[in-house]
């Protein structure tokens, strides 16, 4: 299975390292900041218990719920969109029209899910930027022949969500983690610490993350540790992360160099370090 959406902060490039550092056995699995889901989709065989996925973004959750409920309906809507896009003479205008349709569609249904996938795959780098009125304003990505979706992958994801009875929620992460019990594995991948993001911004939610938001994720990590959950926490190597974790013996902090390619501007393709913080021995 592959992610269905392109997502800022997607972990595909870190997967090798993440896999090396997983606990030997994973019973129940929680991913409270699910995003594109690159982690779960590449390690689902390892999980033997229940799977809980959560994200605060309503559109994202609407996409997964529609993939689970009626993948064929979603696929037929996507096929129509793709065909019309490939045929259209002015692809930018077609994109802008569909973005307008998405912003005007007030119900979270299969039409909205199809439009969301379409915009995500034809805009610039999958970045779903919103303005202060919660409207998506991401520009056209100049793709002439985008893949947009793969029927076989959507069907695999759908069957996985159904057969494994995955619990999908649209809550704040702290609330979604109330169900995490001793021995459960939690992969926490919140938006990045802002002092590290000077060249690009997390704008996939209307509200920006502040220092207080990060303090809260650290508190939640602390609570989960006390509860006996096994947690892997991913972020960028910022001064805030260094201050909080470098001297606390209960956590192991691993640095992973990574090249970000979020901007068209070549200067913005800089090498940064990501960190994986573990509260267990790997
Ligand atoms: C770095 S991304 C996760 C990327 C994901 N691991 C992947 O591979 O695509 C962070 C996610 O956190 C979500 N998010 C932000 N604030 C949240 C909150 N308070 N509760 C739950 N999810 C939240 C965002 O919508 C976004 O999808």
Tell me the best of 8, 12, 34, 236 to mutate to test the pocket of ligand 1, counting ligand atoms within 8 Å of each CB and taking the most.
Answer: 34
Q: Are residues 182 and 43 in the same domain?
A: yes
Q: Are residues 175 and 239 in the same domain?
A: yes
CATH, residue 189: 3.40.50.150
Q: Are residues 141 and 190 in the same domain?
A: no
- Tell me if 160 is assigned to some domain: no
Tokens 């793969």 locate to 150
- Tell me if 199 is assigned to some domain: yes
Q: Are residues 145 and 78 in the same domain?
A: yes
Q: How far apart are CA 263 and CA 122, in angstroms?
A: 16
- The pTM assigned to this predicted structure is 0.92
CATH, residue 107: 1.10.1020.10
Q: How far apart are CA 275 and CA 105, in angstroms?
A: 38
Q: Are residues 120 and 186 in the same domain?
A: no
Residue 165 is predicted with a pLDDT of 86
Residue 212 is predicted with a pLDDT of 86
Q: How far apart are CA 2 and CA 148, in angstroms?
A: 13
Residue 13 is predicted with a pLDDT of 84
- Tell me if 261 is assigned to some domain: yes
> What's the number of domains the chain is made of?
2
Q: How far apart are CA 251 and CA 277, in angstroms?
A: 6
**12 CA: nearest ligand 1 atom:** 8
Q: Are residues 176 and 270 in the same domain?
A: yes
Per-residue pLDDT of the chain (282 residues; tens, 9 = 90+): 999 999 987 888 899 999 999 999 999 999 999 999 999 998 878 999 999 999 999 999 999 999 999 999 999 999 999 999 999 999 999 999 999 999 999 899 999 999 999 999 999 988 888 887 889 999 999 999 999 999 999 999 999 999 998 999 999 999 999 999 999 999 999 987 655 444 344 454 445 677 888 899 999 999 999 999 999 999 988 888 999 999 999 999 999 887 655 555 555 555 578 899 999 998
Q: Are residues 200 and 241 in the same domain?
A: yes
- Tell me if 184 is assigned to some domain: yes
Do residues 278 and 254 make contact, with C-beta atoms less than 8 angstroms apart?
yes
Mark which of 104, 125, 153 sits at the end of a domain: 153
Ligand 1 site residues (CB inside 6 A) read: 7, 9-11, 32-33, 35-39, 55-57, 172-173, 189-191, 204-205
**57 CA: nearest ligand 1 atom:** 25
Q: Are residues 102 and 139 in the same domain?
A: yes
Question: What is the span of the domain harbouring residue 90?
Answer: 64-153
Tokens linked to 5: 């959406």
Residue 148 is predicted with a pLDDT of 97
Mark which of 153, 181, 200 sits at the end of a domain: 153
Of 109, 115, 52, nearest in space to 82 by CA: 115
């Amino acid at each position: 299975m592959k992610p269905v959406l392109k997502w800022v902060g997607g972990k595909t490039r870190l997967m090798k390292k993440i896999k090396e550092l997983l606990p030997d056995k994973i019973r129940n699995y929680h991913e409270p900041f699910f995003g594109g889901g690159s982690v779960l989709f590449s390690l689902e065989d390892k999980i033997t218990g229940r799977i809980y996925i959560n994200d605060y973004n309503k559109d994202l959750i609407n996409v997964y719920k529609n993939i689970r409920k009626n993948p064929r309906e979603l696929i037929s809507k996507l096929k129509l969109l793709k065909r019309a896009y490939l045929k259209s003479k002015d692809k930018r205008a077609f994109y802008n029209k569909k973005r307008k349709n998405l912003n005007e569609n007030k119900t979270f249904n299969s039409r909205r899910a199809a439009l969301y996938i379409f915009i995500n795959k034809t805009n610039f780098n999958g970045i779903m930027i919103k303005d202060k009125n919660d409207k998506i304003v991401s520009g056209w990505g100049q793709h002439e022949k985008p893949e947009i979706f793969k029927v076989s992958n959507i069907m695999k994801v759908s069957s996985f969500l159904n057969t494994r009875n995955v619990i999908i929620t649209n809550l704040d992460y702290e609330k979604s983690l109330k169900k995490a019990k001793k021995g459960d594995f939690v992969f926490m991948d919140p938006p990045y610490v802002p002092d590290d993001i000077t060249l690009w911004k997390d704008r996939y939610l209307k509200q920006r993350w502040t220092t207080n938001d990060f303090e809260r994720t650290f508190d939640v990590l602390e609570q989960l540790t006390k509860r006996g959950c096994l947690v892997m926490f991913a972020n960028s190597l910022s001064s805030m992360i260094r201050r909080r974790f470098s001297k606390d013996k209960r956590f192991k902090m691993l640095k992973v160099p990574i090249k970000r390619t979020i901007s068209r501007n070549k200067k913005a393709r800089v090498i940064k370090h990501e960190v994986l913080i573990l509260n267990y021995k790997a």
